Amino acid sequence: MPFPIQLLTTQVECDTVLEALNLELRVFTVRDQVLDLQADQSADRATDRALDLAAAQASVTRLTPVVAGLTPGTSEHSSLSKMLTRAQRRVEDLSASPGTSTQTPTDAFLKAVDVRQVAVQVPELQ
């Protein structure tokens, strides 16, 4: 559907519309870049979380037989047992879903709408 450019009858009207559209394009371009950055950061956090989880699981795997083989009550048993407990808690923390966000399903939906809107409008404004 073509734009009704016949409505613009003066150079001033054309300049005003062009200025408004350029501003809107800048806004949508920035929003698009912010959404890309958020996606990149989210992927980085997921990778970091997976690496941290693997390291914590490796610690649990390594410490479990060692602690089991030590004499309870010794300082070495106590020290390594505490390390094992911390590693187990770390595994639990990292295994839990990262639901600390306050984002609701409605927020997620609206963000998806924003992504689509930017994807459609930026090329249209260019």
pLDDT digits (tens, 9 = 90+) for 20-49: 888 888 888 888 888 888 888 888 888 888
- Say if 75 falls within a structural domain: yes
Q: Which amino acid is at 9?
A: T
Tokens found for residue 15:
């300049």
Give the pLDDT confidence of 76-95 residue by residue, as tens digits.
Answer: 999 999 999 999 999 998 88
Reported pTM:
0.52
Considering the domain boundaries, does residue 73 fall inside one?
yes
| Domain limits for position 71 | 8-95
Whether residue 100 lies inside any domain: the answer is no
Assess if residue 107 is contained within a domain: no
What's the token pair of residue 5? 């450019």
Q: Is residue 102 part of a domain?
A: no
Domains contained in the chain, number: 1
Q: Is residue 119 part of a domain?
A: no
Distance CA 51, CA 46 (A): 9
In a domain, 83, yes or no: yes
